[in-house]
């Protein structure tokens, strides 16, 4: 847990090879910030467009050239959009799925990662390598038989097909989490396990009382990315849920869009509501996000 706080001071102390040493505003630096700003404008513009449209009434939204400041601020778009379809129901459904999937993924993935990282058993590395191949597999290949399977089990139009695979180490792409956690577990000193075993602990106790408490950063990363995966998943709910009262937010938003095609105020308000929680999550847990993306990118 202490590993990631130590990087910041190290960078500021070692500046031997900058010739001036001072922070004078050389033309190059100015140009740098100009370039960064030029990049930031088109990046942020869609967000501005989203916000301004979400707060405009229809009279103003269809003015050309476009206006940027809503007048009046049409907050009613939010209440209108959110009651036009049962978005609160969609939110509850999404959160139910989130709860089951995130718990299942974190638990079964870390258990498997512990086994692959810290317990010696015959065939371990072969099995692990085999599991990893499924990361490369396009989801389309397993899509149809999986659907057929759930259909024959009578699980269509329930949350079962969307949640149960998570309890098998995420299944498919979720294997990536096992990989990530395993890499993290490998960095924990093995002496800790040894000591616990000498005290008569079982592997389960080592996992639960030694490894897990030391792995919070990695577990948070897996939690965040699993949460976002569920929040964003569209194809899964589209395939398996047909009763509108069971829709998730992503599916609900798509269906909303197909009904209210030209109600841009409503559509943007609803989109903003679906986007906002993820952005909020990001601001609260920012360092874990960057950590996570970096972790996924570096050792692969």
Partner 1 sequence: MAAKKSRLSGQGRLESRWGIILAMPAILGFLIFTIGPMIASFFFSLTDWTIGGRPSFIGLDNYRTMVKDELFWKSLSVTAYYTVGAVPLGLIIGFALALLLNQRVRGLSLWRTIYYLPTLVPAVASAVLWIWIFNPDFGLLNSLLRQAGLPTSQWLYSEEAVVPSLIIMSTWGFGNAMVIFLAGLQGVPRHLYEAVSIDGGGAWQRFRHVTLPMMTPTIFYNLVTGVIGTFQVFNQAYVMTQGGPNNASLFYIYYLYRTAFTESAMGYASALAWVLFMVIMLVTFLLFQNARRWVYYEMAGAR
DSSP conformation class of 118? H
Cα 289 to Cα 297: distance, rounded to the nearest angstrom: 12
Q: Which of 156, 188, 214, 264 binds partner 1 (CB under 8 A)?
A: 264
Which 226-255 residues touch partner 1, going by CB under 8 A? 228, 231-232, 234-235, 238-239, 249-251, 253-254
Would you say 177 and 105 are in contact if contact means Cβ atoms under 8 Å apart? yes
Q: C-beta of 141: minimal distance to partner 1 in Å? A: 5
Q: Does 154 bind partner 1 (CB under 8 A)?
A: no
Q: Where does this chain touch partner 1 (CB under 8 A) — which range of 71-79, 84-92, 167-175, 213-221? A: 167-175
Site for partner 1 in 106-145 (CB under 8 A): 108-109, 111-112, 114-116, 119-122, 124, 127, 130-131, 134, 136-145
Per DSSP, the three-state class of 81 is helix
Please say which residue, 55 or 251, places its beta carbon nearer to partner 1: 251
Residues 78 to 97: which contact partner 1 by CB under 8 A? none
3-class secondary structure, 82: helix
Residue 138, classed as helix, strand or coil, is coil
CA distance between the termini of the chain:
23
Cβ at position 209, least distance to partner 1 in Å = 14
**Which of 4, 26, 30, 45 touches partner 1 by CB under 8 A?**
45
- Taking alpha carbons only, the member of 177, 154, 199 closest to residue 101 is 177
Specify whether the CB–CB gap between 254 and 234 falls below 8 A: yes
């Amino acid at each position: 847990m202490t590993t990631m706080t130590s990087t910041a001071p190290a960078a500021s102390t070692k500046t031997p090879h900058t010739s001036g040493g001072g922070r004078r505003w050389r033309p190059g630096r100015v140009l740098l910030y100009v370039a960064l700003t030029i990049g930031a404008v088109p990046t942020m513009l869609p967000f501005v467009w989203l916000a301004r449209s979400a707060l405009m009434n229809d009279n103003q939204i269809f003015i050309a050239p476009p206006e940027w400041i809503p007048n009046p601020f049409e907050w009613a778009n939010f209440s209108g959009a959110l009651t036009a379809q049962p978005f609160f129901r969609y939110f509850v459904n999404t959160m139910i799925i989130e709860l089951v999937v995130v718990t299942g993924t974190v638990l079964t993935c870390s258990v498997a990662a512990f086994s692959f990282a810290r317990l010696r058993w015959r065939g371990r590395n072969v099995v692990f390598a085999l599991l990893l191949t499924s990361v490369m597999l396009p989801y389309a290949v397993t899509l149809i038989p999986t659907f057929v399977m759930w259909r024959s089990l009578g699980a269509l139009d329930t949350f079962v097909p969307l949640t149960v695979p998570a309890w098998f180490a995420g299944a498919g792409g979720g294997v990536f989490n096992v990989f990530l956690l395993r890499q993290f577990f490998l960095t924990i000193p093995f002496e800790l396990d040894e000591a616990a075993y000498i005290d008569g602990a079982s592997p389960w106790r080592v996992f639960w009382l030694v490894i897990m408490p030391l792995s919070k950063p990695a577990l948070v990363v897996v939690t965040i990315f699993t949460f976002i995966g569920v929040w964003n998943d569209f194809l899964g709910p589209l395939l398996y849920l047909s009763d509108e009262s069971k829709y998730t937010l992503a599916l609900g938003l798509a269906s909303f869009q197909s009904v209210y095609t030209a109600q841009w105020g409503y559509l943007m308000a609803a989109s903003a509501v679906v986007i906002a929680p993820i952005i909020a999550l990001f601001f609260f847990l920012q360092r874990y996000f960057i950590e996570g993306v970096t972790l996924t990118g570096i050792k692969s």
